[in-house]
Structure 1
């Protein structure tokens, strides 16, 4: 099929070049193919620059020599490369401007700042995981965008709890609209119970995550997180970014607590408590279903009903809610 298609394209190119007065229908008849196949052949020739549309030609196209088509393709590639280099130059200029906009501290010593580029979201996430696991004192984050997906709430609570267990102080700033999303409001209420401090503001300048006193992670493009991030190592700039964070923190307001949940305890039977204990211990769904002697689908429906009764959005929140009332002891 591919070989035949190449032959058809070659014949159409020759016919259009030699017979500019023919219509596309006449050429299709000459090649013994359908009009749809003729259109496909012309589209393929246009894609590589061997044909260009021409309303004055009966067939709708005129030919371009292979040499000219190749020159145009190379020119287009060169333009794209030049645009990419200009984009990189703008990024370098933005970083230099960011560093220069903050006043130098009154210190005669020159302190070095190392900037590490993380060009993809996957690299950013891996870097943040490593930085969180090696954080010793505090982590501060600022999130001006929308809420993270609801399915990440359990992982976020587990990470908060792990950092709290290591004595790490965690502060977070969210936009007010994000904090008003029901599952985010529930997450922030639960996160504050285990030690995270959170506040909200109507406006936050950019996404920023600060680890201890010598590491900052900033977006390459504040409007597009898919462009990656810069990891900035060094106390000189980190101190200034902490000062910016302090300003945003002091002009923000505490998170409004989520609406009170229904009392937990009397409405839970022994099976409910067994399931919640297994969730708190990290037991997988398949093992819970086997323990109860039910199917995975039945367990899923059961868990949905249980979380509705507890007034929570995730399974970890369910375990946390029951634990707060001493029912897991």
Structure 2
């Protein structure tokens, strides 16, 4: 009955009569062939409609050497997933501090685990504050068995992901909803040099805490805050650049003021300049 190989007898509905297999098959195939023909007609129409745009797109790609604007989280993640799935040697990432959501944590694990299983090396830069972020520490722990290295540094600028020295991704908006996919060899090489510059100055995550008090009674993070204060940055900007909340930043500023004996914000800037701690940091 499913294949229409039987049909009710018109003279006696209680009986079923056989239908030749060729007839039943033709009855089943005819609507399918009609649908296939219609789909083919639509596909030809679509190809014809897109032909001028395909030509234009090819010229644009050749002219820009593949600089692609990715809009929306879904499209950005799809491009990242494709790039990492094709990666064979190394992934470099810069990840400024933020609060990891469970969803983003799972997405990162799903993307990084296959890389590690293929033997791809991963090097990631965080800010020092990541050492006190339970979500990031849990993430690192789950990937610790592979060829993965994590380092922290006091200040990072923006996110960066580079795959196999061929493609790089950078955000263009603070809400992370627009990104650039870069495949220009010169741009990618430049971004790799930026990464390596910071990597050489970063501290392995397994090393001692970078906030330990130096001989002058001022911690490394307070040296970084002092530098930004002298440059004229407000508390909110300093906190954002160092990956901490404003309250924590102000607590460090208060400790810095106490260590230098400052009674006001204006005096603090003067004492920082007079103390020579910024020159010590450079050495």
TM-score range, shorter chain: 0.3 to 0.5
TM norm structure 2: 0.47
